[in-house]
Structures are given as C-alpha cells and as structure tokens.
Chain A
Amino acid sequence: MRRDASPFIRFWIEFAENRLALAALGVVILVVGAAILAPLFTPQDPYDIGKLVLGDARRPPGHVGSGGYVHLLGTDAQGRDLWSAILYGLRISIQIGITAGAVAFIVGGSLGTIAAFAGGRTEALIMRFIDLQLSFPAILLALVISAILGQGKWQLTIALVASQYAYFARTAHGAAVAERAKEYIEAALSTPLSSRVVVFRHILPNCMPPLIVVATVQIANAISLEATLSFLGLGLPVTHPSLGTLISNGFQYMLSGRYWISIYPGIALIVLILAVNLVGDQIRDQLNPRLQR
C-alpha cells in the first residue's frame, strides 16, 4: 500500500481486502439502486388502487394476470404484483431507515457531545436520562410511541428516532469525554474561539469513527424495527405497504400453502439487513484501534 495515499483511499483499499464485505457493499448498492429506480423495473404502480384487480389476488409466481404481463413473484391478497410491491416497499423501508438513522445521529450525537462538554449537573441529568432509556428495550418504546402516534411514515420515523437516539448519545458522550481531556482541546479553549466552535469543529469530528459504526448498525436496526412494527400492525397502512406490511399480510395465507406473499418480501428484507450489517462489521473492525494490524 502506498504510504502517501489519502486516508480515505487507504481505508477503501483495506475495506476491499475483505471480499465478503465488498460483495455485501455491492449488494447494498444494487438493492438501493433498484429501490430508487423502482418505477423503471416494475410493471405496476402498487399504490394505485385503481389498477389493482381483485381477480388477480393471491396468484402463484409466474401467473399471467389481467394486465397481460407475468407476475414473476405472484400477487398478494389485494391483487398487487409482488415484484413491484417489494421494490416499492424497499423504497419505503430504506427511506425510513436512513431518515431515522440520520435524525437519531444528529440528535443523539449533539446531545452526547454537549453533555460531555457542559459537564456538571447538565451532563449528569442528560446522561442519567439516556442510561434510563437504554435500560428499556427499544422495541417496547417504539411500540408504545407508534401506538400513541398512529400509523404513517412520519409517525413511524419519530418512534424509531425516539428509541434509537440514545445509542448515539451514549457513544458520542464516551468519545467526547475522552477527546475533551486531550491537550489540543485545551489549546483550542485557550484561544478566543467560542465553545460552540470548539464543540462542533474540534470535538465532534474526532468523535466520528465510533458514531459511524453505530450508524451502520442502527440503520439496519431501524429497517428491521420498522418491519417488525409494521408486522405487528402498528407501522404503515395496507395501502402503502412496506416490506413488513407485505410480510404481515401474507402471514395469514401461509398456513394454506400460499408461501410467496410472505416469503419473497422477507427475503428482500433479510438480504438488505444482512448486507448492511456485513458492511458495518467491516467498518467497525477497521475503525477499532484495538484490532489495528
């Protein structure tokens, strides 16, 4: 490896050495790309209720429906083409996962850093509250909040953020406390820089590596949690099915042998979650100073 290469290129070269992680990254890009470009690859708009024909409902994969095209993965209970529904569902799942992850990142990261910088009472109060929340299982919190807020994309995102920001806050706090004790921060504080600049320009960037690791894990978690809530009937409505909603709708037909309504959305879901987790694992290993070669 060339020594003069920039840190990002070195990071990328090391990342690419792990074939599995590289393949996983490829899968993530492929899935996200397919989700973004969903209208180009799908024969049907699954949200257009006017185009759904009930006579096409619950047909097995390969059935040629009234629309004149082949339902590659079959149809669901409302007569939706499953392939189209899955790609559109992936869109919603990824969108919610990334939005929730990003908002939780910003809220939790700032909260943790500010707590570490403020110290004293403020720090104790914030971190006590966060510890308390972390001792409570995320799924239950998300369950209660989405029950209170009702169904819908935004309600779900809020529930996910509320149950996930604490992980970021804890991580940012730990990293920021360690940074705060270092000499360059002391040096920065001795200059006339405002404390806001010191926190956001000096401390926060140095807390990034652990936060990025948490972020990859939490995006996968958010997608999984969203699917779980939708499966329990607390997530997204049937008219705009996410992957979890699709699986949930198909579940009741599974005992009668109509496996495809649940199984195919489920496969899409686990491929996505697994790939994100594998990429995250590799990033974590690379950013962990204890495992440095």
Chain B
Amino acid sequence: MLGFLIQRLLQAVAVMVVISALVFVGVFAIGNPIDVLIAPDATQDIRLDTIRRYGFDQPLWKQYLNFVTSLVQGDFGRSFVFNMPVLQLILSRLPATLELTLVAVIGATIIGVPLGMYAGYRPNAVASRAIMGASVLGFSLPTFWIGILFIMGFAVELGWLPAGGRGDTVEAWGIQWSVLTLNGWSHLVLPALTLSLFRMALMIRMARAGMREAMLSDYVRFARAQGISDGKVIFGHVLKNISIPLVTVFGLELAATMAFAVVTETIFSWPGLGKLIIDSIQSLDRPVMVAYLMLVAFLFIMINFSVDIAYAALDPRVRSGRT
C-alpha cells in the first residue's frame, strides 16, 4: 500500500510540473502584457525599466524557472490590474465560488438522488417519465441559457429575485458568507440552481440506473422474499449499494462544478473566481490567469489522487493489480 501511495504521489507531482509548464507557455502566448502595464504615452526609459522589473527581457525558460522558484516559496506574483498579491486576490474571491459550488452540488444531490431512485423504482410511471424527460433537458440546455431564462423569468418578469450580485454577507471565521443571510440566499438561489441543473440530471441518471439494476439483483429478491417491506429494502440495503458510484461522482463533480462556475458567475455577476478569470483573460492579467489555472489543476489532481487512494483502500485488486 505504501509503495502504491508513493508511486501515485510521484505521478501527481510529475503531472503538476508538466501542467505548470503548459500553462506558463500557453498564457505566455496571449498578448503582450506590457501594453496593459504601461500607458501608451510613457517614455522609452519607463518602458524598458518596467520590462526589466517584471523580467520580460529574459528568455522564456528563465522566466519559467523564476516563476517556479517563487511558486515553491508561496509567491504567485502580483496582479497587473489589481496591483495586489495574486494569492491574496484569489483567496478573497474563493469563498464566493466555494459557497456557490457547494450549494449547487449538495442541492443537486439532495434533489436528484431521490428523484432518480423513484424513477428507477417505478420506471414506467408517468412521474418517472416526466423526471427523465426533465433530466434530458438538464443535460441539453447550455448553462448560460438556463441562467438567462431564470433572470428573464424570476428577475425581470416576476421581480421576485435579484438578477445579480451577492447580496448581504455576514462575516464568520474572518470570511464573508452569503449563506448566512436571508438576502444573501435570495441572491444565491438563481445562480446555484442554474449551476446545479446539469449535476442534478447526472445524479438522476446515475441513481436511476443503479436502482434499476439493484431491484433485479438477488439480494433484493431474497430480502423481498423474506417479507421485508420495499421501504426497508431500499433504504436499508439498496441505498448503501448504489451510493458508492454516487459518492465518486459527487467528489469529481465538485471540482468540475467549480470550473463551470465561470459561466454562471459571469451571467449573475457573482464576484467569485470564475468572474475573476474571465476578467483577467480580457485584461491580459497574466499572473492571475496562471495562478487560477494552477489552482484548478492542483484541485483536480488532488481529487483524482484521493479517489485513487480511496479505491485502493476499498478494493485490494487495484492495489496489487495492473497499475
């Protein structure tokens, strides 16, 4: 087990190094940041001085090395636009995104799993067909379009909920939270629902497929033959068995949802990380882009790593097997 752990850890580190190089070179190719940093009427001296100060005169590999060295020391550089340390900037935006993502994914699970289980339990009922039809919609509609429809319906026509922003926040543990105020929730509902519809459809599909398969299996048949009520069979036995893939998806989707928040945050002007990255792509704010992409890559690798380890702990075949 230890050998497997070390092997996987080394792999994760190698992947991180490759991604950092790709991200750095990729972002390097976007536009010339000098134009953002210096006013067009600046003198040649100021221009050269700035170029030297940011190290743009050095060859690419040397810039990358400098970048990695300071990265290891926990220094992500300074944002060109906000003129503050990138790490601080990202950390100040992170809670908003985290809040939105968590509410969306947890909501999708709480609503999606029971619906999917019902659709699998009674596959031919009218309600089940309606649920599955709705899940096709959830899969097909682009996120930004759902957001626009919600704004159009609930904010413009009905005027029930605000169209954007984060609303009142309350400070807890030194961080501002919207989930703790009523006004904050009214701002949160639409973006969270927009973001969660795709995951909800996914949860419905998975729960339905698991349920259908489980209801035909021997252990359910025997449990029923013993005279145990369907409710007890489902919540006592089936739920446990179908929850393994659901938990995996929950973990993986958490990271994917954070990435998808880019679109939702842009539509609802939610001041999170996604809005930050779109703004920084448009303003060529290189350090912010690099740091954001590295952060997302790191998150993904950590989650995949944890999933691998969890599987290895649960399934001895993975440990000794082909990997």
Interface residues of A (CB under 8 A from B): 132, 135-137, 139-140, 143-145, 147-148, 220, 224, 227-228, 231-234, 247, 251, 254-255, 257, 259, 262-263, 266, 269-270, 273-274, 277-278, 281
Contact = CB atoms under 8 A, between A and B. Distances in A.
Given A139-B259, A140-B296, A144-B293, A270 B148 contact: no
B256 A137 contact: yes
B152 interface: yes
Contacts of B277: 143
A262 B142 contact: no
Contacts, number: 94
Contacts of A255: 151, 155-156, 163
B152 A273 contact: no
Contacts of A144: 23, 26-27, 293
Q: Is the interface of A mostly helix, strand, loop or mixed?
A: helix
Contact of B145 (A233, A270, A278): A270
B13 interface: no
A251 B52 CA distance: 42
8 contacts: A135-B301, A147-B30, A231-B144, A233-B282, A262-B148, A270-B140, A270-B142, A270-B145
Interface range on chain B (Cβ under 8 Å from partner): 35 or more
B256 A254 contact: no
Contact of B262 (A140, A263, A273, A278): A140
Interface of B: 15, 23, 26-27, 29-30, 136-137, 139-145, 148-149, 151-152, 155-156, 163, 255-256, 259-260, 262-263, 266-267, 277-278, 281-282, 289, 293, 296-297, 300-301, 304
B156 A224 contact: no
Contacts of A231: 144, 263
A99 to B, nearest CB: 19
A266 B140 CA distance: 13
Given A135-B304, A232-B263, A254-B156, A277 B136 contact: yes
Among B137, B144, B163, B267, max chain A CB count under 10 A is at B144
Contacts of B260: 137, 139
A132 B145 CA distance: 29
B142 A257 contact: no
Q: Is the interface of B mostly helix, strand, loop or mixed?
A: helix
A232 B259 contact: no
A263 B156 CA distance: 13
Given A148-B29, A247-B148, A269 B281 contact: no
B142 A139 contact: no
Contacts of B30: 147-148
B278 A232 contact: yes
Contacts of B144: 227-228, 231-232, 247
The 3 A-B pairs with the shortest beta carbon distances in the complex, nearest first, are A137-B259, A224-B142, A147-B281
B263 A228 contact: yes
A176 B136 CA distance: 30
Given A137-B259, A137-B260, A228 B136 contact: no
Contacts of B141: 270, 273-274
Contact of A259 (B137, B152, B278): B152
A144 B198 CA distance: 22
A281 B201 CA distance: 15
A259 B152 CA distance: 8
Nearest to B145: A266
B259 A148 contact: no
A275 to B, nearest CB: 9
A257 B159 CA distance: 12
A97 to B, nearest CB: 12
Among A137, A255, A281, max chain B CB count under 10 A is at A137
A228 B301 CA distance: 26
A147 B284 CA distance: 10
Contacts of B304: 135
B320 to A, nearest CB: 18
B148 A143 contact: no
A135 B281 CA distance: 23
B187 to A, nearest CB: 15
Contacts of A224: 140, 142
